[in-house]
Amino acid sequence: MTNSIQNIQQCCGNDALEEFVRQQISECGGIPFSAFMQHCLYHPQYGYYMHSRSRIGSQGDFFTSSSVHRLFGVLISRQLKQMWQLLGSTDFTVVEQGAGEGHLAVDILDTLLADEPEFYQSLRYCIVEISPDNRQRQAETLSAHKERVEWCCFAELNAINGCFLSNELIDAFAVAVVEKHDTRLHEVFIVEKDGVLCEELRSPIRAEIQQHFDDLGVEPVEGNRAEVCLESVQWMTAVSQKLERGFVLTIDYGYPAAELYAPFRRQGTLMCYHQHVANDNPYQNIGCQDITAHVDFTLLQQSGENSGLATLYFAEQYRFLIGLGFVEEIVRFEQQEQDEKKALALRMTLKNLILPDGGMGEVFKVLIQGKGVGTPQLACSRSLRDIPIEAFSGL
């Protein structure tokens, strides 16, 4: 049933991709938003992530924690080292999926080579990356670590002993969009009316989306819009199947389901990024802007638990980084800086990683799951109380 139609503003973008989308719409009589987003981001030729373009950093569209400063990777390498020890300090594989330009990988590998040579020698660093352009950028960034790094196809991974690692992967998965009206959920489809792309609300929603809300026991309230990432469930299940023994370390922005679908979040969390300007219009700059939605961490935990992964840790990024030595390291980095202005600038940059408002500290979360590892006390779970008071001097 068609419930409402809303005209969508068209702006500059990739004409060939838009033509492809229109063709799909015409052939299928409309496509779900998730298919539209999938084409925009991952069309093999024209998708945002697939063609050659600077996406991350000051020349791109957005920053990620690993592009802010190498301290992010330095601290993650400490957590990986403890995981390696927990698995018996033997051959260890890190599978990093969605490695962007390779910043996190190079910071981890540089740190381990310098500080943990034994772990470095036991390490196989396997990158799973959908974007040919990013694979090329990663190869350049990681040229000094050729012996340790390989690029793998997810389907070919087998019996991993180690850690599945990702930073801002899940927020880049395509999502379905729903709205609740007249007490019923409707799914957003994209159709064409008089040559203009339009949103159309269709009800009933697909059975798997309804099942998703039933399983969670949470639903958007009347009038609200929300996203559902079914791909994250498939991903979590597939990761668990590939992991023989070890950990899954997932970092991303998002909330537990009750907070994600809270009544005050009227318009959901879908956002687009183009040259560092955020907007909420996925129908402009088609193929030339990032489209993203916040991650449902309850869904990740539940689907992990359903497929054999125990939840070992879930907290905000600031707690995770502080637990791993952020405060001590920020002071050490500053002390190495001779110029006072540069030291201050460095402190401001680094604080971005833990600041709650406008920074990456609170909305970013860290989930660690385990298989066959018991319930270890993870290094990142060190509490603020245990940080020596001297470490805070100068902050």
Contacts with ligand SAM by CB under 6 A lie at 49, 56, 64, 66-67, 97-100, 103-104, 128-131, 134, 167-169, 172
Smallest gap from Cβ 134 to ligand SAM, in A, equals 4
Q: Residue 89 or 234: which CB sits closer to ligand SAM?
A: 234
CA torsion 297→62→179→307, rounded to 10°?
A: -30
Q: Residue 255 or 364: which CB sits closer to ligand SAM?
A: 364
Smallest gap from Cβ 272 to ligand SAM, in A, equals 13
* Edge-to-edge order in the sheet of strand 271-274: 277-279, 271-274, 290-292
Smallest gap from Cβ 66 to ligand SAM, in A, equals 4
Q: Residue 86 or 291: which CB sits closer to ligand SAM?
A: 291
Element (H, E) at 310: strand 310-316
Smallest gap from Cβ 350 to ligand SAM, in A, equals 16
Tell me the sheet residues that pair with 15: none
Cis peptide before 204 (omega within 30 of 0): yes
Q: Residue 103 or 274: which CB sits closer to ligand SAM?
A: 103
Smallest gap from Cβ 24 to ligand SAM, in A, equals 20
Q: Residue 74 or 128: which CB sits closer to ligand SAM?
A: 128
Query: In a 10 Å sphere around its CB, with 0-12 CB exposed, 13-18 middle and 19+ buried, how is residue 280 labelled?
Result: exposed
Q: Residue 68 or 343: which CB sits closer to ligand SAM?
A: 68
* Whole-number Å distance between alpha carbons of 31 and 21: 9
Smallest gap from Cβ 165 to ligand SAM, in A, equals 9
Q: Residue 209 or 295: which CB sits closer to ligand SAM?
A: 295
Smallest gap from Cβ 100 to ligand SAM, in A, equals 3
Smallest gap from Cβ 160 to ligand SAM, in A, equals 15
CA distances 199 to 17, 177, 178, 373, Å, are 18, 11, 11, 47
Cα 316 from chain centre? 14
Element (H, E) at 202: strand 196-202
The region, left, alpha or beta by phi > 0 then psi within -120 to 50, assigned to residue 113 is: alpha
Smallest gap from Cβ 101 to ligand SAM, in A, equals 6
Q: Residue 57 or 376: which CB sits closer to ligand SAM?
A: 57
Q: Which two tokens stand for residue 90?
A: 């033997």
Contact 99/49 with Cβ under 8 angstroms?
A: no
The region, left, alpha or beta by phi > 0 then psi within -120 to 50, assigned to residue 51 is: beta
* Whole-number Å distance between alpha carbons of 380 and 330: 16
With a CB cutoff of 8 Å and minimum separation 6, the contacts of 374 are none
Tell me the sheet residues that pair with 164: 95, 248
Q: Residue 38 or 224: which CB sits closer to ligand SAM?
A: 38
Nearest CA to 236 out of 184, 277, 296 is that of 296
